[in-house]
Amino acid sequence: MFGGGSIPLIRVFGIRIGVDVSWFIVLFLIIYSLSSYYEDVVPGSNAFVLATVSALLFFVSILLHELGHALVAIRNGIPILGIDLMMFGGVAKLGRDTDSPGVEFRVAVAGPVVTVVIAAACFGAGAAISDADRVFESSTFDDTTVGAATAVLGYLASINLLVLVFNLIPGFPLDGGRIARAIAWKVTGNRNKATRFAAVLGRGFGWLLIAAGVALFFSGADTVGGIWFAFIGFFIAQAARSATEQANFSDRIGGIRVADVMDADPVAIPENFIVDDADGEFFRRYGYPWFPVVDASGRLVGVVSREAVDSVPELERTRRSVATVMARDDGGSGLRVGLEEPLESLLAQESLARLGAIMAVDGDGVLRGIVTLDAVRRALRGAVAI
């Protein structure tokens, strides 16, 4: 009910981890390219197995990088909707945007810090079982023959160092661009101006990558690499352009808050309500596909759907409470938003599109209203018409 568009894998620290279909394509390409490399530097070994292990460990590194962002965001009160691994690495999907330059900086820098630790640990482990020179040779993809473990650790050290350098380029939406946005935000005091500044850097870097890719392709020096560079550059340039458009639009709707567009008279089911009674008094009466669920103090604790109620066996419907069949809100499910949050914070909420509404709560978590997708659309149309 609350999953994203990616294929779910596992949960880590309660965070949903999923993979995009494009991830499998990149996984195959990495394994394919590393197999020939390991045949040269680790003769007599099973190059395919080493390549597969290396590729999977690389994506574990990417996952740890994104978990760094996610855990720091959670520590700063920002819910995480999940982490998706995809063609270009990974993304930690924040339930809302950061609310200060300091939080933006901490969340942005957390991933690169994790990557530094991983690269250093791999290099250190390789040096411990071999020696630093051979690990360095392996990490630079030198054709010098080394042991299997040294070759894998050298690869992981080098690829994480490459990820670090690439991510620290000061262009939005890369981590370096988010760090640049945090600094510009601190200086100007305006998040949208800072976003536009970082997005200009991002578009510039994207076009540089495209130009480099075109040059590599037509020179014949690296045809595949040229296509890849141009593809990544286009993706970054487009993402930066979207960020600029969103910042411009945010200026127009900046004065509208969640409390301004919500229905302040929400219909909610108490968590101790018997399933059979909830069916008759709420689902049959109102005809809604789901309802928010609250505790005795009115605090939002979850959402119960028609499907969940119908799944309860007939003999148990008069004994089981709604709390036993609801989808529990753990604060990071994306089901809730604060009353004073800006309207723009709703635009990234997956549950708004998935459920058609999102619950508005006060500082104590008490349900105060429901914001429907139609209400948001009306408010946005009104802002555009101004």
Extract the tokens encoding 15: 């965070």
CB 144 within 8 Å of CB 207: no
CB 100 within 8 Å of CB 194: no
Name residue 366's beta-bridge partners.
299
**Sole residue written with tokens 């979207």:** 242
The reported pTM is 0.69
CATH architecture of 258-385: Roll (3.10)
> CB-side exposure of 258: number of CA atoms within 13 Å?
25
User: What are the contacts of 6-15 at 24+ separation with CB within 8 A?
Assistant: 6/82, 6/84, 6/85, 6/86, 12/63, 12/67, 13/67, 13/70, 13/71, 14/330, 14/332, 15/67, 15/70, 15/80, 15/82, 15/83, 15/332
At 358, give phi and psi (nearest 5°).
-145, 150
Nearest to 91 by CA among 160, 155, 165, 15: 15
Distance of alpha carbon 8 from the chain centroid? 13
Stretches in the chain below the pLDDT threshold 50: 1-4, 141, 386
**Sole residue written with tokens 């568009």:** 5
DSSP-based three-state secondary structure for 94? strand
Which entry of 66, 104, 344, 350 is annotated as an active-site residue?
A: 66
> Does the active-site annotation cover 350?
no
Extract the tokens encoding 199: 């997005």
Distances from the Cα of 305 to the Cαs of 1, 73, 310, in angstroms? 9, 29, 9
Nearest to 286 by CA among 210, 370, 218: 370
Residue 317's CB is within 10 A of a number of other CB atoms, namely 17
Q: Residue 138's pLDDT is what?
A: 56
**What residue ranges in the chain does DSSP mark as E strands?**
7-12, 15-19, 80-86, 89-94, 269-270, 290-294, 300-305, 327-328, 336-338, 357-361, 367-372
Nearest to 328 by CA among 351, 300, 347: 300
Q: Residue 307's pLDDT is what?
A: 93
DSSP-based three-state secondary structure for 347? helix
Nearest to 97 by CA among 291, 309, 337: 337
At 292, give phi and psi (nearest 5°).
-70, 150
